[in-house]
Amino acid sequence: MSTNNISTNSDTTATQPKSVSFLGLGAMGHHMAKHLVGQFETVMVWNRSFDKAEAHAKEFGTQAVNLQQAVTADVIFSCLPTSNVVDEVIEQALPHLSANSVWVDCTSGVPDQAKASQAKLKAIGCEFLDAPVSGQTSGADSGTLTVMIGGSAEALAYAKPAIECFAGLIVHVGDSGAGFAVKAVNNTLFAINAWAAAEGLSVLKAHGVNPSDALACINKASGQSFATLATFPDRIVNRAFPKTFTIDLMAKDCGIAIDLQTEKQVPAPVMAQVSSLVRAASNQHEPGSADFSEFAKFYEMMSGLDITDEK
Amino acid sequence: MSTNNISTNSDTTATQPKSVSFLGLGAMGHHMAKHLVGQFETVMVWNRSFDKAEAHAKEFGTQAVNLQQAVTADVIFSCLPTSNVVDEVIEQALPHLSANSVWVDCTSGVPDQAKASQAKLKAIGCEFLDAPVSGQTSGADSGTLTVMIGGSAEALAYAKPAIECFAGLIVHVGDSGAGFAVKAVNNTLFAINAWAAAEGLSVLKAHGVNPSDALACINKASGQSFATLATFPDRIVNRAFPKTFTIDLMAKDCGIAIDLQTEKQVPAPVMAQVSSLVRAASNQHEPGSADFSEFAKFYEMMSGLDITDEK
Amino acid sequence: MSTNNISTNSDTTATQPKSVSFLGLGAMGHHMAKHLVGQFETVMVWNRSFDKAEAHAKEFGTQAVNLQQAVTADVIFSCLPTSNVVDEVIEQALPHLSANSVWVDCTSGVPDQAKASQAKLKAIGCEFLDAPVSGQTSGADSGTLTVMIGGSAEALAYAKPAIECFAGLIVHVGDSGAGFAVKAVNNTLFAINAWAAAEGLSVLKAHGVNPSDALACINKASGQSFATLATFPDRIVNRAFPKTFTIDLMAKDCGIAIDLQTEKQVPAPVMAQVSSLVRAASNQHEPGSADFSEFAKFYEMMSGLDITDEK
Amino acid sequence: MSTNNISTNSDTTATQPKSVSFLGLGAMGHHMAKHLVGQFETVMVWNRSFDKAEAHAKEFGTQAVNLQQAVTADVIFSCLPTSNVVDEVIEQALPHLSANSVWVDCTSGVPDQAKASQAKLKAIGCEFLDAPVSGQTSGADSGTLTVMIGGSAEALAYAKPAIECFAGLIVHVGDSGAGFAVKAVNNTLFAINAWAAAEGLSVLKAHGVNPSDALACINKASGQSFATLATFPDRIVNRAFPKTFTIDLMAKDCGIAIDLQTEKQVPAPVMAQVSSLVRAASNQHEPGSADFSEFAKFYEMMSGLDITDEK
């Protein structure tokens, strides 16, 4: 739970949040919310399926409350499927927010929607931070997530003691939307590194090299990436394809990255190509039904080669 | 100097090499050769500029000898600029080789030339291993290089005690040429990961995010690669561009990877795209005159944005 | 001036427009407007630099009028630099429009802005057609332009007698925005065909084949395109690069095509790659300062080869 | 049968060929050979399945002969499936060739194999021209093919009266291999133009535009290509997919173009990308079993959209 905040400094602010709430107790939120317990006078949780909130209260000592009450907290966290869902919840919450509260949205969302939410909350004296996280459920469990923050430095300074509860690293990357932008680009880089590795391992297999042997070398050499270190050995070469982060969400994130590119007219031919290829791979599945790693099966269809070891 | 050999096993061979030699005392070879001292009865070194060999002998206690004598060793290492240079040296060496010796070529070479060299040596009762290394001069200095081996298991078993002197990891990836193939693909993955990161960081900068802040997040998230962990902070964002591995050699390695792709008709659109882009970047420089990291300057020309932090 | 309308049929509508006006007398509009003369009771013209309107009136017998009067016509044509300029003019025009009039916008515009304009005009009982044209100034001069129409069939039926004055082909391609969409995709295909030809001719030149000889073959074979038939011989191989359609406008059109792609999540890896490359080429010039064909100079910088014949 | 020879001039050579032969009476050769009748003292034909040769003789008055006799002609044409088949036939023919004869190979072959064949024939005083043709069976039937010639000007001058019999255009593009190179690049441009059109039409369909309507516009605008003029209306939008030029041969030609690119280190990112995508599409079929136009079905699988008109 130590914090290595590279861009905001002092924590000795005059006022400190006394109450916090967490909206959305999914695979990530469930763990993130538990780290808040004992750090604040009041820790409330809410979830659309309310039994999840009650179970969380029972297990961790949080208070399961309705949405109207939850959003009265000094710092409100949300961790929901998409920016559109966040928008809906904010609309319902607006009449009930406390003055000067800070909403910290940990959803992997859309930069333009962060700007819109910030404008909405600002208008009533509150603040919105886009604060997507990276680190998977294991990082949420251990409270060591990487948090990429977009929004005002003051809002971040106020909410930081709460964010630190589940963060290993907090980086203030820019104004509203910047956090979501960094997350989308990060995921697109992941997709590119993974797609490229699928190509490279297949070319090598065509020349008689087992993927595991190639990975052993690459992972101790300059071609190494999170994709070769983790995704290929843990999900693809062993044919596990566990469903954790679905390919349609990856295609969505790559699409956000392309929108960021075209909006500012930055040429990005590799991001653009891979974004299209991931979309094509995603089109082979119903939304929510396949892990991102199944992109490799799509590529195997293209190449006619399996990315597995020969016995 | 410990070895983690994932694919060959026993070291208890009946015969052990007694003499070894090292041809080519460049930035890598200088260090690699020193680890052989004290492990074998005879350790010979040779270099085209012979004063380097003499200096090596003086510093490390090796024997500086001419080429004819050097190639009489049981195990001969070469670490030279290109496969073509290796070919020339082999041609000169052929009449002088000892029976049953093993030539271990640590050059980043061409797979087809490895096959040709192996055929040539096999014809006179010797063996050739393609054994490119990864780990930069620091890994050579500490004797912890990753070595990717192509060739026969028997030849590797014989030469292994010598290779282990400078290796942290030895992987036998396949028949002749497979080592060079893995190295070329590894370097192409490195080029792709780096190019993609240049695009992603530039898109983010256009949206107001400093490259260093974005890297801080990405390097603790799924988009992480050797390129984002090392190349960008150490060479590009700080505008250092130190000349260690030149961009024309990277373009050459990417070209080898594309030849591997077309030879076996494996579709690899991302490798192919980036290979062309790296070639274009390399075309802006005289061979040998610019570090690989200067690809980023070429991309900056395309995008009109510098990959540096705003103050 | 004959019309080959492939998707709308009858012209025998009860009411016929009696007055028409043309806003924007640039290189295209100057010619398009002249064909309206004699076909309607009133033919008005307007241009921001009003002397152009007066010159047009003098030369062709049109009426040069102010904007307020011009937009009272039954059918109003606009041919302006961008959708943003059209929006401004529409805002000024709104209070002065006649009931049931049809605005026909021949600008190469943005599909979403066509939808917005149509909504605005619809609200006051008028109609908006996006009606971009293709055929260059020569087609405008001869009245044989290809016109791609988005909007309602009724509005098109009403405006058609006026559009036919300068059209060789009118195609009703869909609802509001569809005309602009087809134009953007057409231009992107042109950019792709041209970029690919630059690559192909350069590869051949590296093998000793003169571009003109290669074009002679390709233009009588399956690789033929408008780019190889016209752009390369007339602009690039002869180093003429006449400034007619600027590269920043081409980059803008490719960007519109990519937005169309991402909006509907259609994977389009080749359009996406070339769109980025054209943007990079455009970034080398001030907006409005270089013809599209100068993309070839950017590619020549990448390849190090000139696309010209050796003597 | 008129000739528009853009790069060789005079026909008034001292010696003229008196006998000609044609090897390979497939869909193209059948027609090409018939145009030779009456132009030379002797016109011989040969085919592996000899009944085809006999049928040709009966229908057109040629002489059906065995291979040994056929290759004694002054000018020998070959039109066979691949360069490898041509090589085999040349090996059998070598002992029987007449001095100073010219072998004109109309196969779509490999540039390096043209150079090897030319060296072989040169060594015994003969000449080899690579002379691939374009124009489909209809052009062969009418004797209006485009012929791209690589080889010596003298050999071409000698063989030209024979080539003119079936040519609408003869272009001498360079030394041995240059003809094959131009053909491979032409076909790759065709593949790129076609793939891009599939993307563009699909993006438009997603926005409600029928492919036929979009094609009507594009074919009268700058995006026009042989692919949009012929391939899409005649083969894809109407779901005909007639098998004439198979997709594996197209993938082979694209592969030749990429080898030309890498051999001379010319960056060609778009050719490289599409070459990989065509290979992936080809991998979905047994060799020889699907027309090139079926690439569109592969792309439809990627996009989830059919390139057909809605009713």
User: DSSP letter at B26?
Assistant: S
Amino acid found at A143: G
Answer for the pair D278, C196: CB distance below 8 angstroms, yes or no. Answer: no
Task: Considering the candidates B115, B183, B252, B297, report the single residue annotated as catalytic.
Answer: B183
Interface test with D, best of A302, A303, A305, A306 (most D CBs within 10 A): A302
Q: Taking residues B53-72, what's their average pLDDT? A: 98
CA dihedral B114, B119, B123, B129 (to 10 degrees): 30
pLDDT tier for residue B5 given thresholds of 50, 70 and 90: very low
CA nearest B262 in A: which residue?
A: A203
pLDDT tens for C256-269 read 999 999 999 999 99
| The two structure tokens encoding residue C45 | 């013209």
CA C120/CA D100 separation, integer angstroms: 79
Tell the CATH topology of C19-175. Rossmann fold (3.40.50)
3-class SS of residue A243: coil
Q: Which element (helix H / strand E) includes B167? A: strand B167-174
Q: Is the pLDDT of residue B79 over 60?
A: yes
Q: Domain extents for chain B?
A: 19-175, 181-303
Residues in chain A closer than 8 A to D269 (CB atoms): 269
CA B269/CA C273 separation, integer angstroms: 11
CA D178/CA D8 separation, integer angstroms: 15
Q: According to DSSP H, which parts of A102-225 are helical?
A: 111-122, 136-142, 153-163, 178-206, 211-218
pLDDT tier for residue B212 given thresholds of 50, 70 and 90: very high
* Partner-chain contact B220 A274, CB within 8 Å: no
Start-to-end Cα distance in chain B: 44
Judged by average pLDDT, the poorest of A248-252, B14-18, D9-13 is D9-13
Q: Is the pLDDT of residue A7 over 60?
A: no
CATH 3.40.50.720 correct for A19-174: yes
Residues in chain C closer than 8 A to A272 (CB atoms): 258, 269, 272-273, 275-276
Answer for the pair B122, B100: CB distance below 8 angstroms, yes or no. Answer: no
CA dihedral for B223, B229, B232, B238, sign (positive or negative): positive
3-class SS of residue B125: coil
CA distances from D210 to C15, C255, D110, D207 (A): 30, 22, 40, 9
Whole-number pLDDT of residue B15: 82
Is B220 designated active site?
A: no
pLDDT tens for C14-71 read 589 999 999 999 989 999 999 999 999 999 999 999 999 999 999 999 999 999 999 9
Whole-number pLDDT of residue D4: 40
* Partner-chain contact B269 D277, CB within 8 Å: yes
Residue of D251, D265, D283 with shortest CB distance to B255:
D265
Report the relative pairing of strands B102-105 and B127-130 from DSSP bridges. Answer: parallel
Provide the angle, in degrees to the nearest 10, between the axes of the packed helices D247-263 and D178-206.
Answer: 120
Q: Which element (helix H / strand E) includes D213? A: helix D211-218
Answer for the pair C302, C277: CB distance below 8 angstroms, yes or no. Answer: no
Answer for the pair B247, B290: CB distance below 8 angstroms, yes or no. Answer: yes
* Partner-chain contact A275 C280, CB within 8 Å: no
User: DSSP letter at D266?
Assistant: -
Task: Considering the candidates D115, D183, D252, D297, report the single residue annotated as catalytic.
Answer: D183
| Domains A19-174 and A181-303 alike in fold | no
Q: According to DSSP H, which parts of chain B are helical?
A: 29-34, 50-60, 67-70, 83-93, 111-122, 136-142, 153-163, 178-206, 211-218, 226, 247-263, 269-282, 295-303
Q: List residues of D whose CB lies inside 8 A of any B CB.
A: 251, 255, 258-259, 261-262, 265-269, 272-273, 275-277, 279-280, 283
Closest-CA residue to D214 (of C257, C182, C133, C256): C182
> Which residues fall within 8 angstroms of residue D208, CB to CB, at 6 or more apart?
C174, C175, C178
Provide the angle, in degrees to the nearest 10, between the axes of the packed helices C247-263 and C269-282.
Answer: 150
* Partner-chain contact B277 D267, CB within 8 Å: yes
Provide the angle, in degrees to the nearest 10, between the axes of the packed helices D178-206 and C211-218.
Answer: 60
Residues in chain D closer than 8 A to A301 (CB atoms): 284
Q: Is the pLDDT of residue A4 over 90?
A: no
Neighbours of B208 (CB within 10 A): 15
CA D270/CA B276 separation, integer angstroms: 9
Provide the angle, in degrees to the nearest 10, between the axes of the packed helices B211-218 and A178-206.
Answer: 60
Backbone dihedral region of D101: left (phi > 0), alpha (psi from -120 to 50 degrees) or beta?
A: beta
Answer for the pair B261, A203: CB distance below 8 angstroms, yes or no. Answer: yes
Q: Taking residues D33-58, what's their average pLDDT? A: 97
* Partner-chain contact B182 A209, CB within 8 Å: yes
Closest-CA residue to A148 (of A116, A107, A193): A107
Q: Which element (helix H / strand E) includes B80? A: none
Q: A246 has which bridge partners?
A: A291
Mean pLDDT of chain C: 94
User: DSSP letter at A97?
Assistant: P
For tokens 């819109």, the residue is A116
Among A19-23, A133-137, B245-249, which range has the highest average pLDDT? Answer: A19-23
Q: According to DSSP H, which parts of A219-288 are helical?
A: 226, 247-263, 269-282
Report the relative pairing of strands C127-130 and B19-23 from DSSP bridges. Answer: unpaired
Work out how many CB contacts closer than 8 A connect A with C: 48
* Active site members of A: 183
Start-to-end Cα distance in chain C: 44
* Partner-chain contact C276 A265, CB within 8 Å: no
| φ/ψ (deg, to 5) at B284 | -85, 0
Compute the nearest-CA separation of A56 from chain B (Å).
27
CA B6/CA B8 separation, integer angstroms: 6
CA nearest A228 in B: which residue?
A: B225
Distance of CA B149 to the CA centre of its chain: 12
Residues in chain C closer than 8 A to B273 (CB atoms): 273
DSSP per-residue letters across B174-193: ESTTHHHHHHHHHHHHHHHH
pLDDT tens for C72-111 read 999 999 999 889 999 999 999 999 999 999 999 999 999 9
User: DSSP letter at D63?
Assistant: E
| φ/ψ (deg, to 5) at D113 | -75, -30
> Which residues fall within 8 angstroms of residue A184, CB to CB, at 6 or more apart?
A108, A111, A253, A254, A256, A257, A260
Whole-number pLDDT of residue D12: 47
Whole-number pLDDT of residue C15: 82
For tokens 């390369």, the residue is C232
Compute the nearest-CA separation of B153 from chain D (Å).
33
Q: Taking residues C146-160, what's their average pLDDT? A: 98
CA dihedral C109, C111, C113, C115 (to 10 degrees): 140
Q: Which element (helix H / strand E) includes D169? A: strand D167-174
CA nearest C231 in D: which residue?
A: D222
For tokens 């005649």, the residue is D234
**Which subunits have 3 or more CB–CB pairs within 8 Å of chain B?**
A, C, D
CATH of B181-303, one of 1.10.357.10, 1.10.1040.10, 3.50.50.60, 3.30.2020.30: 1.10.1040.10
Whole-number pLDDT of residue C146: 97
**Which subunits have 3 or more CB–CB pairs within 8 Å of chain A?**
B, C, D
| The two structure tokens encoding residue D75 | 């000018």
pLDDT tier for residue D285 given thresholds of 50, 70 and 90: very high
pLDDT tens for B129-152 read 999 999 988 999 999 999 999 999
* Partner-chain contact D202 C271, CB within 8 Å: no
pLDDT tier for residue B4 given thresholds of 50, 70 and 90: very low
Neighbours of C33 (CB within 10 A): 29
CA dihedral for C274, C275, C276, C280, sign (positive or negative): positive
CA A254/CA A186 separation, integer angstroms: 9
Which is more confident, A119 or B6?
Answer: A119
**Which subunits have 3 or more CB–CB pairs within 8 Å of chain C?**
A, B, D
3-class SS of residue B133: strand
pLDDT tens for D109-152 read 999 999 999 999 999 999 999 999 999 889 999 999 999 999 99
Answer for the pair D102, D18: CB distance below 8 angstroms, yes or no. Answer: no
* Partner-chain contact B269 D269, CB within 8 Å: no
Q: Taking residues B163-181, what's their average pLDDT? A: 98
CA dihedral for C97, C101, C106, C110, sign (positive or negative): positive
Compute the nearest-CA separation of D262 from chain B (Å).
6
DSSP per-residue letters across D27-38: TTHHHHHHTTTT
